[in-house]
Amino acid sequence: MTQSTAIFWPVLAQVLLTYAIYMLVSARRIGAVKAGNARPSDFRIPAVEPAPSAAVVRNLSNQFELPVLFYAACLSLYVTGAADTAAVVASWMFVLARIAHSYVHVTSNRLRIRRPLFILSLVINLVQWLLLAFHIA
């Protein structure tokens, strides 16, 4: 594996996280139906998400917000030949921060922990973009 393609391993890990959150949403919604907190028809156009799945659904939405910039940065780093060790390490750090953020979001949902993890992933993504900018400058 060349150094430049190594950047795709954290990308795949981030994609795997998104699929895991999809599965968790499904499990929580099925659990809500089985517990009598929701009916299957409630999910046609969910106006109110049952409490057990609400944070997970919001976390799923999060996977299509900041991670979109992560994907774009990784692809840009790869295309420009800037996917070096620093870029790969930053990418793994981003994914680890997002995993931690998701874990907190779907379990305790403690903002005092979740917010710093979000900010950490935001800063790491900025570092990715700065690495790209320095490379192409």
Domain residue spans in the chain? 3-136
Half-sphere exposure of 64 (CA within 13 A, CB side): 7
Q: In whole angstroms, what is the distance from residue 38 CA to residue 29 CA? A: 8
Q: pLDDT tier at 84 (50, 70, 90 boundaries)?
A: very high
Please give the pLDDT value at position 11: 98
CA 18 to chain centre: 6
Structure tokens at 96: 């680890």
Tens digits of residue pLDDT in 16-59: 999 999 999 999 999 999 999 999 988 888 788 888 899 999 99
The CATH number for 3-136, chosen from 3.40.50.300, 1.20.120.550, 3.30.1380.20, 3.10.450.50, is 1.20.120.550
Task: State in Å, rounded, how far the first CA of the chain is from the last one.
Answer: 27
DSSP code of residue 81: T
Say what the pLDDT of residue 111 is.
Answer: 97
Residues 107 and 112: their CA atoms lie apart, in Å, by: 13
Confidence of residue 4 (pLDDT cuts 50, 70, 90): confident
**In the chain, what percentage of residues exceed pLDDT 70?**
99
Looking at residues 128-135, what average pLDDT do you find?
Answer: 98
Q: Quote the pTM value.
A: 0.94
Instruction: Categorize the per-residue pLDDT at 1 as very low, low, confident or very high, splitting at 50, 70 and 90.
Output: low
| Residue 96 CA to its chain's centroid (Å) | 9
CB atoms within 10 A of CB 106: 20
Backbone phi and psi for residue 113, each to the nearest 5 degrees, phi listed first: -100, -45
Structure tokens at 38: 């929701």
Which pair of structure tokens corresponds to residue 121? Answer: 């992933």
Average pLDDT over residues 100-109: 97
